[in-house]
Amino acid sequence: MALIRLEAVEREFAVHQRVGRVRRRRQVVRAVDGISFDVSAGEIVGYIGPNGAGKSTTIKMLTGILMPTAGTVRVDGLDPQRARTELAMRIGVVFGQRNQLWWDLPLRDSFELLRHVYRVPAARHAGRLAEFVDLLDLGPFLDTPVRQLSLGQKMRGEITAALLHDPSILYLDEPTIGLDVVSKSRVREFLARVNRELGVTVILTTHDLSDVERLCSRVMVIDLGRLVYDGTVDDLKARHGQYRTLVVDLEAPNGPLAVDGAEVVRVEGPRQWLRFHRDRKTAAELIADIARITPVVDLTVEEPRIEDVIALLYGRAEKD
């Protein structure tokens, strides 16, 4: 039984555009355009897509903040919009650029307030908080007003705040945005543990694809409101990453090389990038072809990067 199920979900927004001085034209934008997927308990899913693809809109429908225009959403057997307050007990939410902590009060006070809001018994709260303080090393700034915390400290506080009431699902919208490398890896490590050890189902949206590569067993790619990929990260690379890139340093600058089965995608002085299909040509064949035209000084073969693979997916959706 799926913990989260979306069936043909759509969400439209009316946008008013000014035409002339006073007149406005009403235009309907479909932010989410027929999305269906299931998420089982215990999964950790990356939900990615360019700006305005419909990621946040989907998350907001999953939490019950927004009502879908069409289709059905079920989370833990509940209709999120109707049973919003009931569902709130079972989910934790972190919006990377929004703050749920009390700005002027010590971090500890926010946790205590949330304990009351979620009606967690004092003893259980204390035990759980101690666990998080230990895991995320919150001790040194537990009594510091939130406004004085660094971005990384604040994010650790936010994640703790979202988990103190023991939810079974955790939604994170851009949890690593703006964080430095150390804070990022710390947050990722922690999320992996939360998923593995506490069995919390995690859904995260992100622009940082290394989040997805490090964390997620499954990735969903959304573009223009439609799901364009749903599967494992490895499959995504294998299926859509047929193109490899050969980078060659030539002895002297040259015009774009004309080689069969490869396409020059970039030229920088004597260095050229050639994209080729992995099934149609081997790297060795391509190097031989180039060497016949002009001497080669150095070369490397680049495997498809997840960014490129996904960029290809985005483009595809646009053409449809």
Positions in the binding site for other proteins (CB under 8 A): 13, 51-52, 55-56, 60, 63-67, 81, 83-86, 88-91, 93, 95, 97-100, 102-105, 109, 112-113, 116-119, 145, 166, 173-174
Cβ contact 272:254 at 8 Å: yes
- Comparing CB distances to other proteins, the nearer of 83 and 296 is 83
Cβ contact 11:55 at 8 Å: no
Least distance in Å: CB of 58 to other proteins?
11
Least distance in Å: CB of 108 to other proteins?
12
- Closest to 3 measured CA to CA, from 202, 236, 270: 202
Least distance in Å: CB of 212 to other proteins?
17
- Comparing CB distances to other proteins, the nearer of 198 and 238 is 198
- Comparing CB distances to other proteins, the nearer of 145 and 270 is 145
Q: State the Cα–Cα distance between residues 131 and 183, nearest whole angstrom.
A: 19
DSSP state of 260: T
The secondary structure of 163-225 as a DSSP string is: HTT--SEEEEESTTTT--HHHHHHHHHHHHHHHHHH--EEEEEES-HHHHHHH-SEEEEEETT
Strands 44-48 and 4-18: unpaired
Beta pairing partners, 145 = 106
Q: State the Cα–Cα distance between residues 154 and 159, nearest whole angstrom.
A: 9
- Closest to 290 measured CA to CA, from 247, 257, 261: 257
Cβ contact 49:223 at 8 Å: yes
